[in-house]
Amino acid sequence: MTKSICVYCGSRDGTMPIFAEAAEALGAGIANRGWRLVYGAGDVGLMGRVARAVQAGGGDTFGVIPTHLLDWEVGKTDLTRFVVTETMHERKKVMFMNADAVVVLPGGAGTLDEFFEVLTWRQLGLHEKPIILLNIGGCWDDLLAALNGIVARGFADATLLDFVQTAPDVGTALQLLA
């Protein structure tokens, strides 16, 4: 059975070229290993870069997008599988249910929303899927500090930190996924 990797990331490229390079390298790595990409079906920003890299490597792509984002995120309809949902909640559920692991590239509020939802589900024992923060250029350093602060202040058990693996580069992330 093919491993499916859900990638959460920005619909923008961000300010550092290394973000785009990492998105493309992750997509190529997913394709090279014969894994399937599950993502938000956009053709813009880091999302589009990951998907195009998977496609360039001959990989399988599974995109999920809600109707209200078809134009904004430029729905990438040439995917192996393209699913349109009514709501963001449905989108996130379909993406997660069709994945074996989650990788979080740099991104904004939507990326953080997706990350915290799967982290919360893991904390509640609803799944045991790996969650990997791809900390390119230290982009998630503040988030990691906040998670440590949540534990230090007694708002979560220290086990919360065990649910998230951090990778400083794409190669490490791919090793963790293997």
Summarize pLDDT for 91-117 with one digit per residue, the tens: 999 999 999 999 999 999 999 999 999
Where do the domains of the chain lie, and which CATH numbers do they carry? 4-173 (3.40.50.450)
| Cα dihedral value 144, 65, 126, 22, nearest 10 | -30
Task: Give the confidence band of 161 by pLDDT, cuts at 50, 70, 90.
Answer: very high
Q: 14 in the Ramachandran plot: left (φ > 0), alpha (ψ -120 to 50) or beta?
A: left
Residue 2 pLDDT greater than 90, yes or no: no
pLDDT tens-digit readout, 68-86? 987 777 788 899 999 999 9
pLDDT of residue 109: 96
Buried b (16+ CB within 10 A) or exposed e, 70-87: eeebbbbeebeeebbbee
Radius of gyration for the chain, computed over Cα atoms and rounded to the nearest angstrom = 15
- The confidence band for 1, taking pLDDT boundaries of 50, 70 and 90, is low
Residue 3 and residue 11: Cα distance in Å, rounded?
Answer: 24
β-pair type (81-85, 131-134): unpaired
What is the reported pLDDT for 74? 78
Beta strand residue intervals within 4-126, DSSP E: 4-8, 36-39, 60-66, 81-85, 101-104
Give residue 48's pLDDT. 96
CB atoms under 10 Å from CB of 103, counted, come to 28
11-69: per-residue pLDDT in tens? 999 999 999 999 999 999 999 999 999 999 999 999 999 999 999 999 999 999 999 98
DSSP string for 57-92 = TT-EEEEEEEGGGTTTTTB-TTSSEEEEESSHHHHH
| pLDDT for residue 149 | 98
